[in-house]
Structure 1
């Protein structure tokens, strides 16, 4: 079998399910490392202002097919959703931009549209968003077809070709990689972490940036059943430290000032952990960290603030991103 773009080394059809099974090359293989690097290098070429201008021009094109393609590209850019028709055959009935159904879209004003659909992982996307006036006109027009879908004749290849007219090689998938990476870069900068800051503050900033990326990409999850119990245990640690500090302040003991300083530092750490636990309840941070955030951004920031990169990336991702993290892949 000659498939030069594939990364599997063996495949077979499962007799029970009828599905293809694959043996993939290792994450540390030079070919896999280079492929990962190329994905993020391509995202660096993303020119948001030029691409937005190209899309807006296409929205009012006299060619109805081009108007549809531009509208799909607009929705991918605005909503940060995937293309849609590239999903696996055995995935649930989820949708993306090209596979939106008429029932998923409701026009609620001259510039507002309500979107309600199941995205990847069967995660519900339900938002009312302000859009370009021409997009509303286009959606109204596209609803007048015989299909239950808004864009029945549009596929990802057409969208990619349209985007490639501005930046060669750019595809719809690059949108999410670019925006996730830029959100992380911006959040890390906003946090203003210094090299002299304690480790827990650095880890919090890294996790918060990861959360922001997960939020804009809609990487939601169902909280574990014991989440409330875990949260209460974390909150109890905070209350216990506050009580220790209160009692120590009232006491007359040796090295009181030093002991208070240590307890207050522990309290700050536990409060940040509690805050992070609350904020990340509904979001899966792993997907964006694994597939969308350029690891070079975290690697550069970690060196700058003096944080061990292992505090951000687990062993599996240290292997996957060995090309960017500047360390040997762990055994």
Structure 2
């Protein structure tokens, strides 16, 4: 629907206005504010920025007891040093978030202070509206949700650049770079999944293909056949492709790539990169997303 497409477009346009250094500066200023309410709001914003977690009190009523920044319980947070905090909670999709992270010393002080309340929650009086209003003081319209869109998109942009794919590279190398960028976004947004039950068998089948190709190459090297050089080159290319596929399968085992591709990564980044390296965008986006992102991908929805 055109209206839905327009909303999607606006979401990504807003993320382009995100100014990380300005926002971090605003948050850090708020961390040591004399106003305790502002200190709490700034601490929540700091955690959203640092941990790339959701704001917390926007979840669906039928969701499990999952947690975001505003709904963190005291039991989810443990101070383990002057600058270190251990976080342990269930995020969206009941995915466990468990990390010990270095934080700003003022954040440790604030967390210690906020633990002295009568609630089991750290920020019982903070709502997402207050966080959004605080962020909007720097960039109008910016909300807590934009953080994840911005960081996922930037991670994809950076990874694609790092891969250094050229137009002359084989298609499988381009697809690998696109998937790897998608994986990096899924990692920073904690889009975890349980591997399918038959994952090990599938991995073994993929590994077997690699071993079979290696054996073919070994035998061919020892034989005296016509066009040996040409045949070896073809087999080695096939081997490179299968090895990349195997690597990708291993690396994506615990991550769901679909969520970030559908909701957080600006499709314009993939579209301009695909044009630059000469990759068909349909190799990155399935049909449903080609329709959803027709405005960015130039994929006209089928009549």
TM-score bracket relative to the smaller structure: over 0.9
Q: Runs in 1 of length 4+ with deviation above 2 angstroms?
A: none
State the Cα deviation string for residues 178-200 of structure 1 (Å, max 9, x = none). Answer: 00000000000000000000000
Match of 1:187 in 2: 159
Give how far 1:305 is off.
Answer: 0.2
Are 1:245 and 1:263, in contact at CA under 8 Å, matched by a contact in 2?
yes
Q: Per the alignment, in what secondary structure is the counterpart of residue 56 of structure 2?
A: coil
- Contact 1:221–1:283 at 8 Å: present in 2 too? yes
**What residue ranges of structure 2 are gaps of 5+ in the alignment?**
none
Q: How big is the shift at 1:258? A: 0.3
Q: CA deviation at 1:329?
A: 1.3
Q: Cα distance, 1:30 vs. partner?
A: 1.2
Partner in structure 2 of residue 96 of structure 1 = 68
Instruction: Name the CA distance, whole Å, in 2 between partners of 1:46 and 1:309.
Output: 26
Deviation of 1:49 (Å): 0.2
**Structure-1 separation of matches of 2:158 and 2:123:** 34
Deviation by residue 1:6-64 (Cα, 9 ceiling, x = unmatched): xxxxxxxxxxxxxxxxxxxxxxx211111110000000000000000000000000000
Do the aligned residues in 1 keep the contact of 2:27 with 2:42 (CA within 8 Å)? yes
Give 1:228's aligned residue: 200
Partner of 2:258: 286
Q: Secondary structure at the match of 2:87?
A: strand
Deviations 1:115-160 (A, max 9, x none): 0000000000000000000000000000000000000000000000
Task: Return the alpha-carbon distance in structure 2 between the equivalents of residues 126 and 103 of structure 1.
Answer: 12
User: Could you tell me how far apart the structure 2 residues matched to 1:108 and 1:60 are?
Assistant: 21
Give per-residue Cα distances to partners, 1:210-244, cap 9 Å, x unaligned. 00000000000000000000000000000000000
* Aligned 8 A contact 1:55 1:70 in 2: yes
Q: What is the deviation of 1:327?
A: 1.9
* Superposed CA offset, 1:159-181 (max 9, x none): 00000000000000000000000
Return the alpha-carbon distance in structure 2 between the equivalents of residues 59 and 225 of structure 1. 46
SS in 2 for 1:323: helix
- 1:117-128 maps to which residues of 2 (within 5 A)? 117-128=89-100
TM-score normalised over the length of structure 2: 1.00
Alignment root-mean-square deviation, CA: 0.5
> After the TM superposition, which of the residue ranges 240-249 and 321-330 deviates more from structure 2?
321-330
Residues 86-133 of structure 1 show CA distances to partners (whole Å, capped at 9, x for unaligned) of: 000000000000000000000000000000000000000000000000
How many residue pairs match? The answer is 303
Secondary structure, aligned partner of 1:252: coil
Preserved contact between residue 318 and residue 330 of structure 1 (Cα < 8 Å): no
Secondary structure of the residue that 1:117 maps to in structure 2?
A: strand
Structure 1 unaligned spans of 5+: 1-28
